Structure 1
Amino acid sequence: MTQESGDPRHLETLDRDLARYSALEMATSYVARPMVGPGIGLVFILLAGISAMLFFGDPSNSLIVVIAASLGAYMALNIGANDVANNMGPAVGANALSMGGAIAIAVVFESAGALIAGGDVVSTIAKGIIAPESMGTSSVFIWAMMAALLSAALWVNLATWIGAPVSTTHSVVGGVMGAGIAAAGISAVNWPTMGGIAASWVISPVLGGAIAALFLWLIKSRIIYRDDKIAAARRWVPVLVGIMAGAFSSYLSLKGLKQIIQIEMQTALLIGAGTGILVWLVMIPVIRKQSHGLENRNKSLKVLFGIPLVVSAALLSFAHGANDVANAVAPLAAIVQASQSDSFTDAVSIPFWVMVIGAFGISFGLFLFGPKLIRMVGGKITKLNPMRAYCVALSAAITVIVASWLGLPVSSTHIAVGGVFGVGFFREWDAERRIRKSRLTMPDDASYAPEERRRRKLVRRSHFMTIIAAWIITVPAAASLSAIIFLSINAALG
């Protein structure tokens, strides 16, 4: 060993250098961490394009299909990042599921719903928003669908970034409408259908919120506010779980399994009624056993709602995968068909490899980018517990059934978030009612000051206004962006 290497001052210099390198490694790791998700997402998009090249047989139009498959994969990632949070957010916010458990369940059930029951045949492309024959040529139609897919994906990506859960269905509808107007004029749009979609902006959240609030009132009045909460829970929880089982049986019969077997509303309701009665009878001894030894307090009630809440989140994910995967793959399937046969006015069948891109894209999007919106829906709008989250999940299934019965178009995103709002606003109303009631037995100076009552609002108004604004501008924003993209493509190729 040399004298220099043994010098304590040299060792101190070496320690400082090592500390600098360590700090540099930590800083590099911190900066690189946010890039992991986008990096994996980009790899998936590239793999989707390569898969399209392998499975699509016509080499003359393979480049168009590769680009379309990449855009479809990008859209599927954004659906997973934004839309799936509506199903899992309440369960995570209520601490019935961990973030990892929620993502695992959603990945499995979203993929199963998409692959098992998601092979829909789109009779008129993008739910009849535009008349395909007005496009003139297959090339114009293909570029219009490309613009619609890209604009919808960009808008949902932006909404996820600002933390606003928006309807991916409305994003695609806006994209198709904007490209259709840019390509063939205003007359190409089916305006009665657009009017129904606009009506759903109001109908979906209001109906979802009202039903969620109704069930929360039922739970509070029949269980929580009773002297013997456990005895009340033994009587009512089996009934509530039976209602949930019946609602989801009807919901899945109508929506989740419609691609496997077509079931009419009356048959679906009979299936739901039979399933609900059976589950109610089964749950009576189960809840009696589960409630044995529980203390007579609200915290004990959370145990009884935990498993039903997890099951409802899984079933919602299955139905969502079966229905909303079409938002990513229907325009892609239309492009594939138009590229293969030059036919763009007939019904569009979705190939299996296209469904796989949609299913895996939703799962990857949820895994990589979903936690932000899950936390927003589950905890940042209003505080949820298992009972409140259960009401949100149940309202989602019942609202879809009621809307189908009335023939109203609804958005699953708006229903779920509307349910969260409904629960929160009901809690505010109930708290105000109890304060007014307590004034009869307390002196005037014991009531809350106006400032304190404003502070005690149970729904965060900033998130409420952000989400409502995002809902209102989704269709116009996606339509404008789509029109700009289509005109840019047209100018570049013309």
Structure 2
Amino acid sequence: MIPPTRLAQALEAGDVLTLQQAYLLASLFETLGAALLGYQVTDTMRKGVVDLAIYEGREKELVLGQIAVLTGCGAWLLIATFFKMPVSTTHSIVGATIGYSILLHGTDGIRWSKNRPLHCGLILLPFLYFLCISVNVFAVTFEGSHYIGLDKWPLWAVLSLSFGIGLIAALITRFFVVERLKNYILVNTSDGSEQIKVVSGVNNSNSETTRNSSNYRRISEPVNNNGTTTEKSETTLLTQKSASEKSKIEENGQEMLQNNQNGSLGNASIRPASSLLSFFRSSKPEDPYASRLFTFLQVLTACFSGFAHGGNDVSNAIAPLVSLYAIYDEGSVHQSKHTSIYLLLYGAAGMCVGLWLLGHRVIYTVGENLTRITPPGGFAIEFGAAITVLFASKLGLPISSTQCKVGSVVAVGLVQAHPVVHWSVFRNISLSWLVTLPIAGLMSAGVMFLLKMIAL
């Protein structure tokens, strides 16, 4: 993988850095990011995409599969770099992994979803508390009751109070409520298999019932003579409408369509999408002296971005290698040990070698050809993309840092005083993203097919 886009803007905007300086900083911070953050994303890639249980007793298949991933993914990334396409390492690794696994075991070998609803719910809980409480506080205080003087509060005070109370509620939830709530749920809630059994059970009176408890409700369903219930989804029951209701909805829809032929929606006119861009777009050209101040900040955020990239994309790239080592070391497909720091450093070294040898080919695609980037714009690009990637790395999410960076470049290009985005370049980049997953998968499957013919 060639990770040059992390420092592309710092290099091209305002001659902030020379090529060699950008390479040195990128190498340093890619390595630090991989060593300090990479373990979480690596664990997700090597254990979360493929169902390891299906390879139990078939360690040789999994080993050959990881070799196929490295070969197919590496070949596609080299081809893409040769044609100056900033493709996603994450998509390449995921596509290659899916490719070999489907060849060996069809769709059964892939974890298409993550069955940890409680874990995901607990992560979202503080954010949901923040959102709900902030909205409620805002609704109460904004132009509120004149009896207690809320109608005289300025908007900034209302927003500050809403945000502050919501943030306090989120912090309390995160540090005091989440763990207690998790323990309470685990202690007081039966497991899913028992719940399914209870809901699916059929009693002797030909009706589907739940356990006799105040916490459950009775559900009557018709059953066949052989004792099985007829299939009737809850979604169908909830979405059934009478004929009159359906016709009324259709009539209202036709009326709304007729009223909106002139570009209006009732009494509210539809604003063009460009109004949102004009709101953020600056009408004044950048002051060259003030712009120069951002050159130092841009170098800082470029280093920040390289650090985040090392924590995410390096981890994705070496996940197959980590799996190979873990299977060899443990003799099991379960890979219970943590990722070795030496493997993370090895992956970072490979990234740096790729950057120094081939990085310039992709730097100019993102740093120059896509849009004009100034130091303030480069600062915004690096900061926005780095925050996104860093947050995803802490959550163990293998997202595409390439897409984060290109998206930031396009957004900044649109809101400049003189917006210029070369859409033909963006189109080619987008097409390369679309073909990455299937091409990497096909290449990995092809390598796996050859290995299967030779070694299995």
- TM-score relative to the length of structure 2: 0.58
Q: Is the 8 A contact 1:85 1:377 kept in 2?
A: no
Asked if residue 361 in structure 1 is aligned to residue 350 in structure 2, the reply is yes
Q: Is the 8 A contact 1:329 1:350 kept in 2?
A: no
Partner residue in 2 for 1:100: 20
Q: Is the 8 A contact 1:333 1:349 kept in 2?
A: no
Q: CA deviation at 1:426?
A: 2.9
Partner deviation per Cα, 1:377-417 (whole Å, 9 max, x = no partner): 11111111101111111221344478799998742110111
Partner deviation per Cα, 1:18-66 (whole Å, 9 max, x = no partner): xxxxxxxxxxxxxxxxxxxxxxxxxxxxxxxxxxxxxxxxxxxxxxxxx
State the identity as a percent: 31
- Give the whole-Å Cα distance in 2 for the aligned partners of 1:365 and 1:315: 20
Q: 1:67-106 maps to which residues of 2 (within 5 A)?
A: 79=1, 81=2, 84-94=3-13, 95-106=15-26
Partner residue in 1 for 2:30: 110
Q: 1:289-304 maps to which residues of 2 (within 5 A)?
A: 298-304=287-293
Partner residue in 1 for 2:333: 344
- Give the whole-Å Cα distance in 1 for the aligned partners of 2:440 and 2:404: 21
Partner residue in 2 for 1:395: 384
Q: Is the 8 A contact 1:126 1:173 kept in 2?
A: no
Partner residue in 2 for 1:147: 68
- Give the whole-Å Cα distance in 1 for the aligned partners of 2:349 and 2:397: 30
Q: 1:321 to 1:400 in 2, by over 3 A?
A: closer
Partner deviation per Cα, 1:319-356 (whole Å, 9 max, x = no partner): 22123221232211111121233201233532333223
- Give the whole-Å Cα distance in 1 for the aligned partners of 2:360 and 2:79: 16
Partner residue in 1 for 2:453: 491
Q: 1:360 to 1:404 in 2, by over 3 A?
A: closer
Q: CA deviation at 1:112?
A: 2.2
Q: CA deviation at 1:493?
A: 2.1
Q: 1:404 to 1:100 in 2, by over 3 A?
A: closer
Q: Which amino acid aligns with 1:471?
A: W
Q: Is the 8 A contact 2:370 2:421 kept in 1?
A: yes
1:464 equivalent among 423, 426, 431: 426
Partner residue in 2 for 1:447: none
Q: 1:129-208 maps to which residues of 2 (within 5 A)?
A: 129-136=49-56, 137-192=58-113
- Give the whole-Å Cα distance in 2 for the aligned partners of 1:378 and 1:146: 33
- Give the whole-Å Cα distance in 2 for the aligned partners of 1:298 and 1:174: 45
Q: Which amino acid aligns with 1:472?
A: L
Q: Which amino acid aligns with 2:335?
A: D
Q: CA deviation at 1:114?
A: 2.2
Higher relative contact order (CA 8 A, sep 6+): 2
Partner residue in 2 for 1:335: 324
Q: Is the 8 A contact 1:121 1:347 kept in 2?
A: no
Q: Which amino acid aligns with 1:311?
A: L
Q: CA deviation at 1:113?
A: 2.2
Partner SS state of residue 345, structure 1:
coil
- Give the whole-Å Cα distance in 1 for the aligned partners of 2:23 and 2:366: 14
- Give the whole-Å Cα distance in 1 for the aligned partners of 2:330 and 2:348: 25
Q: 1:486 to 1:382 in 2, by over 3 A?
A: same
Partner deviation per Cα, 1:260-297 (whole Å, 9 max, x = no partner): xxx99969xxxxxxxxxxxxxxxxxxxxxxxxxxxx97
Higher helix share: 1
Q: Mind listing any 5+ residue stretches in structure 2 that lack a counterpart?
A: 115-170, 176-284
Query: Aligned-residue CA RMSD in angstroms?
Result: 3.0
Partner SS state of residue 192, structure 1:
coil
- TM-score relative to the length of structure 1: 0.54
Asked if residue 375 in structure 1 is aligned to residue 294 in structure 2, the reply is no
Partner residue in 1 for 2:309: 320
Q: Mind listing any 5+ residue stretches in structure 1 that lack a counterpart?
A: 1-78, 194-262, 268-295, 432-456
2:438 equivalent among 463, 471, 476: 476
Partner SS state of residue 377, structure 1:
helix
Q: 1:372 to 1:266 in 2, by over 3 A?
A: farther
Q: 1:338 to 1:297 in 2, by over 3 A?
A: closer
Q: Give the paired residue count.
A: 290
Which is greater in Rg? 2
Q: 1:307 to 1:426 in 2, by over 3 A?
A: same
Q: 1:115 to 1:404 in 2, by over 3 A?
A: closer
- Give the whole-Å Cα distance in 2 for the aligned partners of 1:265 and 1:399: 23
Q: CA deviation at 1:147?
A: 0.5
Partner SS state of residue 458, structure 1:
coil
